[in-house]
């Protein structure tokens, strides 16, 4: 397997506060990488460096390199809009647009120039099928998406992201606001999607990280303490701090 993302000597500052300290890791293509660690440890900040979402925060400064397919995404001539199309993001709480299910999915392709009605219908159906939602909403395509359940809304947001054909999918605690059954459906979906996409997920749920990820990174106080095969991280961590966190001694 080849590396999709290579991170070297990454430091991030919120003005004078250093939030990420000398991060180095490789994210393998078409695998699920989980980021774990206590609140405030830098894992969500790190996730947002991968599609430059931190650029939207005043006073943020980034040092180091993040290479995606060998290209430095922080070079001055990078088209950030194109980058965020390539590297999509699913947030902690479902955030469907206050419009129909159909329009939620068609929105992105339209923004990127797709105008053909038949092609848009194909994209809507294929995206909803990829997000395991088509059978539940095919008779409700022209009803407001806000009428869907929380779990359906989150899968709709995943479908909306898939509609613009990303290469990488970032997920920031995508099931923390969902009930157990909806969580299970999203986890099943993550396992299916890795056949086509590189996925990086932030989770506070140790069991979830163990269930869905191939590799796991443990962050603490802005540092990457340990990164490796998920099974090895959970059964034989090399660092005592990793073991203490996984076994519930802190965090």
Dist. CA 120–CA 112, nearest whole Å: 12
Across the beta sheet with 168-172, the strand order is 87-90, 168-172, 198-202, 32-36, 215-220, 223-229
Q: What pLDDT is recorded for position 173?
A: 96
Q: What pLDDT is recorded for position 250?
A: 80
The pair of three-digit structure tokens given for residue 181, joined into one six-digit string: 């059954």
Dist. CA 105–CA 125, nearest whole Å: 9
The residues near 188 (Cβ < 8 Å, ≥ 6 apart) are 132
The pair of three-digit structure tokens given for residue 163, joined into one six-digit string: 């509609």
Q: What pLDDT is recorded for position 130?
A: 96
- What's the distance, CA 85 to chain centroid? 13
> Can you give the residue ranges of every domain in the chain?
3-246
Q: What pLDDT is recorded for position 131?
A: 96
Dist. CA 242–CA 234, nearest whole Å: 9
Is CATH 3.40.50.300 the classification given to domain 3-246? yes
SS3 133: coil
How far is the CA of 119 from the CAs of 58, 82, 105, 109, 141, in angstroms? 39, 21, 12, 10, 16
The position carrying tokens 């340990």 is 226
Predicted structure pTM score: 0.95
Q: What pLDDT is recorded for position 101?
A: 98
Buried b (16+ CB within 10 A) or exposed e, 96-133: beeebbbbbbbebbeeeeeeeeeebeebbbebbebbbb
Q: What are phi and psi of 2, to 5 degrees?
A: -95, 160
Q: What pLDDT is recorded for position 136?
A: 97
Task: Kindly report, residue by residue over 112-135, the tens digit of the pLDDT.
Answer: 999 999 999 999 999 999 999 999
Dist. CA 29–CA 86, nearest whole Å: 14
SS3 3: strand
The pair of three-digit structure tokens given for residue 4, joined into one six-digit string: 């999709």
How far is the CA of 212 from the CAs of 55, 98, 140, 215, 221, in angstroms? 29, 31, 30, 9, 24
DSSP letter assigned to residue 179: -
Contact 209, 235 (CB under 8 A): no
- Per residue of the chain (251 residues), what is the pLDDT tens digit? 799 999 999 999 999 999 999 999 999 999 999 999 999 999 999 999 999 999 999 999 999 999 999 999 999 999 999 999 999 999 999 999 999 999 999 999 999 999 999 999 999 999 999 999 999 999 999 999 999 999 999 999 999 999 999 999 999 999 999 999 999 999 999 999 999 999 999 999 999 999 999 999 999 999 999 999 999 999 999 999 999 999 988 87
Q: Do strands 87-90 and 168-172 pair parallel, antiparallel, or not at all (unpaired)? A: parallel
Q: Which long-range contacts (CB under 8 A, 24 or more apart) does 135-139 make?
A: 137/101
Q: What pLDDT is recorded for position 249?
A: 86
């Amino acid at each position: 397997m080849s590396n999709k993302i290579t991170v070297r000597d990454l430091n991030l500052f919120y003005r004078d506060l250093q939030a990420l300290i000398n991060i180095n890791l490789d994210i393998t293509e078409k695998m699920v990488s989980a980021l774990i660690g206590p609140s405030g440890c830098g894992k969500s900040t790190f996730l947002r460096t991968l599609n430059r979402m931190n650029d939207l925060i005043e006073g943020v400064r980034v040092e180091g390199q993040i290479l995606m397919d060998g290209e430095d995404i922080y070079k001055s001539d990078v088209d950030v809009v194109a980058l965020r199309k390539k590297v999509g993001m699913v947030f902690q709480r479902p955030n469907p647009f206050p419009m129909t299910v159909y329009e939620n999915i068609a929105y992105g392709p339209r923004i990127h120039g797709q105008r053909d009605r038949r092609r848009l219908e194909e994209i809507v159906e294929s995206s909803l099928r990829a997000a395991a939602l088509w059978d539940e909403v095919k008779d409700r395509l022209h009803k407001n998406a806000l009428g869907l359940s929380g779990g359906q809304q989150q899968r709709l947001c995943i479908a909306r992201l898939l509609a613009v054909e990303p290469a990488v999918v970032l997920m920031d605690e995508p099931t923390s606001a969902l009930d157990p059954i909806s969580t299970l459906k999203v986890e099943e979906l993550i396992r299916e999607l890795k056949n086509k996409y590189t996925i990086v997920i932030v989770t506070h749920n140790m069991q979830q990280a163990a269930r869905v990820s191939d590799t796991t990174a443990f962050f603490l106080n802005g540092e990457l303490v340990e990164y490796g095969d998920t099974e090895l991280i959970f059964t034989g961590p090399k660092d005592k701090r990793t073991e203490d966190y996984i076994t519930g001694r802190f965090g």
